[in-house]
Amino acid sequence: MDKAIFVLNGPNLNLLGTREPEIYGTDTLADIETACQAVAERLGVPLIFRQTNHEGELVDWLQEARTAAAGVLLNAGALTHTSVALYDAIKAMAIPVLEIHLSNPLRREAFRHQSYIGMAAHGTIAGFGLRSYVLGMEALAPLIQVRS
């Protein structure tokens, strides 16, 4: 497959491994990228893995993905609960977008129960730590018609 899977990560995910390990675990963003790369290689699809602390950059990447990607995994971090701009960007996409979370937002503070990303995404995988990303990659495969 020529088109890549984009794995896009939002604010504070660069701090994984040290930020609230009791919630997010001890895996780093580099560990997650390594796990995603292994699945991408098995599926025979290129991987683009990115992280930013800026909402507008995530919007730009989603717009880029409209033509450059086969599908997207998006962990928007706290922007999940606040960003209508990300919601609108996802709604403008014809490719599948899966919402990913390391923790289960529904088991956390009430303000995390609202997900603008989830309202626009094809599906959501949450609560499995690093494995949420692996499950997301595997769930995306049949939606983008790659070998599994």
Closest by CA to 49, choosing from 124, 39, 122, is 39
At 107 the pLDDT is: 62
Q: How far apart are CA 54 and CA 76, in angstroms?
A: 10
Confidence band, pLDDT 50/70/90 cuts, at residue 108 = low
User: What pTM does this model have?
Assistant: 0.91
User: Would you list the domain boundaries of the chain?
Assistant: 4-144
Give the lowest-confidence range in 1-5, 114-118, 144-148: 144-148
- Which residues are known catalytic residues? 24, 101
SS3 string of 118-134?
Answer: HHHCCEEEECCCHHHHH
| Residue 107 annotated as binding site | no
**Can you tell me the mean pLDDT for 14-32?**
84
| Residue 112 annotated as binding site | yes
| Residue 88 annotated as binding site | yes
CATH of 4-144, one of 3.40.50.2300, 3.40.109.10, 3.40.50.9100, 3.40.50.300: 3.40.50.9100
Give the DSSP letter string of 58-69: HHHHHHHHHHHE
Q: In the predicted model, what is the mean pLDDT of the chain?
A: 91
Q: Is the pLDDT of residue 147 over 90?
A: no
Q: Are 38 and 114 in contact (CB under 8 A)?
A: no
